[in-house]
Amino acid sequence: MGDDESRPVVEAIGIAKRFGPTVALADGRLTVLPGETHALVGRNGAGKSTLVGVLTGLLKPDAGEVRFAGRPAPPMGDRVAWRQHVACVYQKPSVVGELSVAENLFLDRQPRGRFGLLSRSRLRRAATDLLESWSVPVDPETPAKELTVEQRQLVEIAGALSHGARFVILDEPTAQLEARAIARLFDRLTGLQQQGVTFLFISHHLPEIYEICQRVTVFRDARHIVTAPVAELDHAKLVEAMIGDAHGLVQVGQDRPPVPDEAEAVLTLDAVEVPNFTGPIDLTIRAGEIVGVAGSAASGKRQFAEAVVGLRPRTGQVRVAGATVPPASVPAALRAGIGYLPADRNADGFVPGLSVAENITMTVADRLGPAGVVLPKRRDAQGRRAISDFDVHTAGPHQPVSELSGGNAQKVVMARALARDPRVLVLVHPTVGVDVRSKESLLGVVDAETRAGRGALLVSDELDDLRVCDRVVVMVAGRVVAEHGRGWDEATLVAEIEGIGEKHV
């Protein structure tokens, strides 16, 4: 053990990997020391996922070497050996939903009882012991599909540790968590770290890195850029390393003109109520105004937005520029002039197998030719225009959206939301899971588009998104509890979102 103290837990040297013509990784280097929590950051496409694939033995590098505690990595395909060194908790669940937590933990190595048959009681005991030894507060009999994201991650970590690995890769563990759950997760990670577990922490959320990581490695354009203690790399330097020029983050929307009081109301919500999710909500959005909606996952803000665009049943009245919009019909909402960007682009944002142009024009298919005919020429022309307007990095209008990076796929969804020239945009988590520059570009689009008489309702968990808004309302448990103009205070807003603000204010 004493020898291992100094040796890096994992070391990747000169990793290169190509997929066909695409260079996914040109110079992948990483050294993680025992007991540290090491951050790996980079924009989408910087090579992080490829490096994780190589580190976990799922991808075979074209060149370079991976070493665990100074020894060469096991041969490819020897999963058991790899699992003793490293495990990765992905954003997507890797548990079998229909099986219990205990069964998931001991999948394919279940403890046996009499006659060599599986023993439920032993399984339960083993699982309880395992979960307790790593202080994971989950009942082993719970079906895995009923776990919260946070619990699921802890269970997967415990499972990884039970295979002998003391090095765990966390791939954006906080992306789907709300602030309180993130705090709890960080507490647990710190606890595990004290028990000798080493983490590689991947996140788009830079403040989190300063919170729990000791060192950080930055990748850019398939290359290792820098590795340093977080204390020596402040926010501006970190962003600079990620995006490669000295500008840092431009604050989008800082120079937005104030919305005049007499501006026309483009979206008027009158006692809009979503059964089971929200109480009656009144809200008016004027031309040229972006109204942000903040709130926890349980606040009903997403369901509220989905009801406004007709995806969910609702009561109350929605008017766009004075005209009433019938409830529970997306086509009616589209015709009335509502553009919509869904919360999760992979789930309901785009059709992966269809082309960029086809996805962009999905909401305007009736305008691409006479009598229900779609003229490919017109579709491609419109697609091309959107590709240049929104700066989508793609081989062309015919490329399937499934081949684009997250940020570019989101630009396609944004283009689709704007394709019908709507009076008001409804955007839910518009920058989730995209890199810094795509984020800037997407928010820039929202800013620019709303200056020309459009309004926008922007539902988001990201403070960066909400900074663009002219006004932010906070929802808690289906009600609007607070409203802020520009220049709100971060701490106050977060406190209100978490439902602890009312007492303080």
Partner 1 sequence: MSETLAVGAPEAPQRPPQPTGRPSNRLRLARLRDLALVPPIIALLIYGYTLKPDVFLTKSYLVDTVLKYQTELALVVLAEALVLIVGKFDLSLESVVGIAPAVAVFLVVGQTSILGAPWPTWTVLPVAIAFGALIGVFNGLLVVRFKLSAFIVTLAMLIALRGLQLAIVGGATISNLANRIPTIDNLGSLRILTIPLSIWIVVLAFAVGIVVLGYTRFGRSIYAVGGNPDAARAAGIRVERVIWVTFIVAGALAALAGLMLSARLGSVAANQGNGMIFTVFAAAVIGGISLDGGKGSLVGALTGVVLLGLIQNVLTLAQVKPDQIQAVNGLVILVALVLARLTSGKAQD
State which of positions 360-379 bind partner 1 (CB under 8 A): 362-363, 365-366, 368-369, 372-377
Of 296 and 359, which has the nearer Cβ to partner 1? 359
User: Do residues 57 and 137 make contact, with C-beta atoms less than 8 angstroms apart?
Assistant: no
Closest CA to 458 of 492, 415, 429: 429
* Binding flag, residue 400, partner 1 (CB under 8 A): yes
Q: How far is the CB of 381 from partner 1 (least distance, A)?
A: 8
Q: Give CB contacts under 8 A, 24+ apart, made by 359-367.
A: 359/401, 359/412, 359/413, 359/416, 360/386, 360/412, 360/415, 360/416, 360/419, 361/416, 361/419, 362/416, 362/419, 363/334, 363/339, 363/416, 363/417, 363/419, 363/420, 364/419, 364/420
The residues, any chain, with a CB within 8 Å of residue 211's CB and separated by 6 or more, are: 186
* Binding flag, residue 175, partner 1 (CB under 8 A): no
Of 140 and 422, which has the nearer Cβ to partner 1? 422
* Binding flag, residue 348, partner 1 (CB under 8 A): yes
Of 137 and 353, which has the nearer Cβ to partner 1? 353
**Which residue of 183, 354, 491, 500 would you call a contact of partner 1, by CB under 8 A?**
354
Of 416 and 471, which has the nearer Cβ to partner 1? 416
Q: How far is the CB of 323 from partner 1 (least distance, A)?
A: 17
State which of positions 403-462 bind partner 1 (CB under 8 A): 416
Of 146 and 403, which has the nearer Cβ to partner 1? 403
Q: How far is the CB of 304 from partner 1 (least distance, A)?
A: 15
- What is the full DSSP assignment across 82-119? HHHH-EEE-SS--S-TTSBHHHHHTTT-PPB-GGG-B-
* Binding flag, residue 395, partner 1 (CB under 8 A): yes
State which of positions 257-316 bind partner 1 (CB under 8 A): 309, 311
* Binding flag, residue 478, partner 1 (CB under 8 A): no
**Which residue of 275, 326, 331, 485 would you call a contact of partner 1, by CB under 8 A?**
331
Q: How far is the CB of 350 from partner 1 (least distance, A)?
A: 5
Q: Could you list the beta-strand ranges (E) of 33-177.
A: 37-41, 63-68, 71-72, 87-89, 167-171
Q: Total residues contacting partner 1 (rule CB under 8 A)? A: 37
Quote the tokens at residue 308: 């406004």
Q: How many CA atoms lie within 13 A of 395 on its CB side?
A: 9
With the C-alpha atoms ordered 160, 164, 168, 171, is the resulting torsion angle positive or negative? Answer: negative
Of 166 and 379, which has the nearer Cβ to partner 1? 379
Q: In the complex, which residues of this chain contact partner 1 (CB under 8 A)?
A: 309, 311, 330-331, 333-334, 340, 342, 347-354, 358, 362-363, 365-366, 368-369, 372-377, 380-381, 395-396, 398-400, 416
